[in-house]
Amino acid sequence: MRIGRRYTGSAAIAAALLVAGCGSEHGAGSADSATTTRPAGTSAGSGQTETARRCSGRPTIAETEGPYFKAGSPARTSLVQAGTGGTRLVLTGRVLTTSCTPVAGARLDFWQADASGSYDNSGYRLRGHQLTDAAGRFTLTTIVPGEYPGRTQHIHVKVKAPGKPELTTQLFLPGEPGNQRDAIFDPSLVMRVHDSGSGKAATFDFILG
Ligand code: FE
């Protein structure tokens, strides 16, 4: 089950970039600000958070797929199964065009490491896909992913809207020390996260160019 826990060469690249000072380009302020910009009066799962946020119109950047994508994930909005440990995370958001028009029927395929930083490469644990609703919205119930060598915490996703090229990218958590050591990290891909009960609630909108 525990197969290969790092991307080939990513640790070395991260180290090289850190030495070169590139890590500082991803200012901690940008990431940290993501924790404080949630609109007032919204709450986890209210469905209001995503509709209250403004659309920048800037396309979501692509990131490397990494070595652990598997086609054929099951259709499901919750990746939490019996025995899934870790901190619960509910991610809500939308898929939008650069004109900020919601995209219905966009396919989101998520995959991630478990709380200990391991991917399930023999099955489909912590993997699943879903379609956005008529308002372009999605909800993913999962856990906070663990770190593994060379990488900060992240959730992988492929977003495919009808008539548009597929976007492959990754989402990050705000304020994690590992963000500044990870050459793949980008502050534009940081989710807005806040505590919700015993877990966390997050939001992120994908904008397809
Ligand atoms: Fe990964």
Query: Is the CB of residue 131 less than 8 Å from the CB of residue 161?
Result: no
CA-to-CA separations, 49 to 16, 121, 202, in angstroms, rounded: 38, 34, 9
- Please write the tens of the pLDDT for every residue from 122-143: 999 999 999 999 999 999 999 9
**What pLDDT score does 167 carry?**
98
- Please write the tens of the pLDDT for every residue from 159-207: 999 999 999 999 999 999 999 999 999 999 999 999 999 999 999 999 9
The alpha carbon of residue 174 and the mean position of all alpha carbons in its chain are separated, in whole angstroms, by 11
Confidence band of 36 (pLDDT split at 50, 70, 90) = very low
As given in the structure block, the two tokens for residue 97 are: 């065009």
Give the Cα separation of 170 and 188 in Å (integer): 10
Helix-, strand-, coil-residue percentages of the chain, each rounded to 5: 15, 30, 55
CA 5 to ligand 1 center in whole angstroms: 8
Query: Is the CB of residue 167 less than 8 Å from the CB of residue 158?
Result: yes
**What pLDDT score does 37 carry?**
31
CA 9 to ligand 1 center in whole angstroms: 13
The CATH number that domain 9-35+58-208 falls under is 2.60.130.10
pTM score:
0.78
**What pLDDT score does 12 carry?**
41
Checking if the pLDDT of 106 tops 80, the result is yes
Which DSSP helix (H) or strand (E) runs through 203? strand 199-203
Task: Tell me the pLDDT of the chain averaged across its residues.
Answer: 82
CA 113 to ligand 1 center in whole angstroms: 7
CA 112 to ligand 1 center in whole angstroms: 6
As given in the structure block, the two tokens for residue 144 are: 């906070």
Burial class (CB in 10 A: 0-12, 13-18, 19+), 203: buried
Compute the average pLDDT of residues 69-77. Answer: 98
Strands (E) across 13-172 are located at 88-97, 107-112, 127-131, 137-143, 154-160, 167-172
